[in-house]
Amino acid sequence: MNKEAKTILLICSAGISTGLLVKNMKDAALEQELDVHIYSAPAITAEDILKREMIDALLIGPQSEYEIHRLKDYLNYNRVPYKLIDKDNYANLDGKKVLEQAMVLLKK
């Protein structure tokens, strides 16, 4: 990963499904030769991560929709684009589709 790589953070309640989704997203990024850093964290730690690290896009697991309200002011202030992950893509662990969703955020 070089200095130009974009960082995508996924947050969710527990992290097990999101960890699998991150792996599938990384595979899709490798296949497409995209220079991105993708990782996940529990929603409870999101604010601390956003304070410490440069995040280019935030994707939120469907079960953590309530976190948008908690983080919204901070995300808007720091101009971090965010979006709720599509429920079907999340349920199917469709890394390619969720990566596409993240790439749209990165272009904003």
The residues that are catalytic are 12
Q: Which residue in the block uniquely carries the two structure tokens 């939120």?
A: 60
Distances (CA, A) of 100 to 27, 29, 87: 13, 10, 14
Distance, CA of 10 to CA of 13 (rounded, Å): 10
